[in-house]
Amino acid sequence: MRHRSLLILTTVITTGALTLTACGSRDEGKSTGGSDKITVVIGVDAPLTGSLSALGQGIKNSVDLAAKTANKTNEVPGVEFKIEALDDQAVPASGQANATKLVGNKDVLGVVGPLNSGVAQSMQGVFNSANLLQVSPANTNPSLSQGDNWAKGDLKRPFASYFRTAATDVVQGKFAAQYYYNDAKKRKVFVVDDKQTYGAGLAAIFSEEFKRLGGTVVGTDHVTVKETDFSSTADKVKAAGADSVYFGGQYPEGGLLSDQIKKTGAKIPTMGGDGIYDPNFISASGESNDGDFATSIGYPVEKLDTAKKFIADYAAGGYKDPYAAYGGYSYDAGWTIIQAVKAVVAANDGKLPDDARKQVVEATSKVSFDGVTGKVSFDEYGDTTNKQLTVYKVEGGTWKDVKSATFED
């Protein structure tokens, strides 16, 4: 009996493994079969499963839309775009494995992703040594493009192949501090972060700017990702007598933290970065998030004239998940790769050169177009030159934009 179950188990596993490998080899086979058109694959790496999958699916679908749009309008004559989306589950090690896989597929000329700054750290080196272009729609940690010593004013670009359409946390954290201090008239803030690259970085930048403006940080605490009971931290916030909370982290923890702080009876708002700007921040933890704030990069996609077409196309595309917080940036990131490929192909008589990857990276720094989120172009560090930001507030169960401005230092 026991041996039989073991046999069945082994059979199932072997069959599964064979099916998976079969899928892999078929994908690679497809590209060589193309007769008249060259196939260029745009890699996508994002958390497609797990608690951040709402954002990841939005990224994947938006890049898919960019590729389909380019194919339909024949944006790059003679080139057919495809996407290959891999799931990193917001885990750095998975990101690195995915990066290696994408580098191994010679048709991949650019990768959109990842969502998390921590995952990006593990991918940058892999892409850079293969000269493969990476454009992140969502990474906001400054050190990714400006080196580890950015805070001391010593800016040094670590990886030439890394670009991003999202503004950095420096811009976002300072903008949040200015809003809390100048617009919301908050003076005593309690700062909580989730110890991740994104959250801790953002919280530190916010704290520094808030103190510079004249406010006080009355306490700090850290939470652990995937934990759900923050009642002890919430009571510390209350005991500290803070008039506001700043949270550096993502929406699963942010929503619960805000909810639990309000349940202690402290009627104070929580503010966070683009990591909490998601409908799930509100929906997943009751209705008591009213009055909370989030900053996000760019102007509200729904309000930009340039974005109307994107929204209409996305709706027409019949995607199951919404484009979420990074849809516009992902579309622009995908389009950046398409534009870079277009420039390279145009300079080489309509064909891909042998060192296509290297040339695509070089072409990206000169890319400039009107995208979904505004003018898309990159500075000498690979950061977007678009520094528009918006503060959103939870009102009646939805995010309402309350202030949009171009960041000034």
Report which DSSP code applies to 183. Answer: I
Q: Counting contacts by CB under 8 A, is residue 284 touching other proteins?
A: yes
Q: Counting contacts by CB under 8 A, is residue 221 touching other proteins?
A: yes
Q: Counting contacts by CB under 8 A, is residue 89 touching other proteins?
A: no
Q: Counting contacts by CB under 8 A, is residue 190 touching other proteins?
A: no
Count interface residues toward other proteins (CB under 8 A).
Answer: 39
Number of other CB atoms surrounding residue 380 within 10 Å: 9
Kindly list the distances between the CA atom of residue 334 and the CA atoms of 10, 60, 126, 135, 233, in Å, as whole numbers in the listed order.
41, 10, 20, 8, 40
Q: Which of residues 18-37 bind other proteins (CB under 8 A)?
A: none
Minimum Å gap between C-beta 51 and other proteins is: 6
Minimum Å gap between C-beta 221 and other proteins is: 4
Q: Do 214 and 204 form a contact (C-beta atoms < 8 A)?
A: no
Give phi and psi for 347, each to the nearest 5. -75, -10
Instruction: Single out the residue of 10, 74, 228, 368 in contact with other proteins (rule: CB under 8 A).
Output: 228
Minimum Å gap between C-beta 234 and other proteins is: 8
Q: Do 54 and 319 form a contact (C-beta atoms < 8 A)?
A: no
Q: How far apart are CA 150 and CA 171, in angstroms?
A: 13
Q: Counting contacts by CB under 8 A, is residue 129 touching other proteins?
A: no
Cross-strand partners of 378: 384
Close Cβ partners of 31 (under 8 Å, ≥ 6 residues apart) = 39, 41, 82, 107
DSSP 277-339: -SHHHHHEEEETTTT-EEEEESS-GGG-HHHHHHHHHHHHHT-SS--TTTHHHHHHHHHHHHH
Instruction: Single out the residue of 28, 148, 154, 227 in contact with other proteins (rule: CB under 8 A).
Output: 227
Q: Counting contacts by CB under 8 A, is residue 185 touching other proteins?
A: no
- Check residue 312 and give left, alpha or beta (phi > 0: left; psi -120 to 50: alpha): alpha
Residues 246-275: x where in contact with other proteins by CB under 8 A, - otherwise, as a string: ------x--xx--x---xxx----------
Residues 47-86: x where in contact with other proteins by CB under 8 A, - otherwise, as a string: --xxx-xx--------------------------------
Minimum Å gap between C-beta 398 and other proteins is: 15
Q: With respect to other proteins, which residue has the nearer C-beta, 289 or 373?
A: 289
Q: Counting contacts by CB under 8 A, is residue 220 touching other proteins?
A: yes
Q: Counting contacts by CB under 8 A, is residue 316 touching other proteins?
A: no
Q: Which of residues 359-388 bind other proteins (CB under 8 A)?
A: none
Residue 381 identity: Y
Kindly list the distances between the CA atom of residue 165 and the CA atoms of 217, 373, 374, in Å, as whole numbers in the listed order.
31, 9, 10
Minimum Å gap between C-beta 327 and other proteins is: 16
Q: Counting contacts by CB under 8 A, is residue 322 touching other proteins?
A: no
Q: With respect to other proteins, which residue has the nearer C-beta, 88 or 332?
A: 88
Q: Counting contacts by CB under 8 A, is residue 291 touching other proteins?
A: no
Number of other CB atoms surrounding residue 236 within 10 Å: 18
Q: Counting contacts by CB under 8 A, is residue 226 touching other proteins?
A: yes
Binding residues for other proteins, rule: CB under 8 A, are 1-2, 5, 49-51, 53-54, 192, 195, 220-224, 226-233, 235-236, 238-239, 252, 255-256, 259, 263-265, 280, 283-286
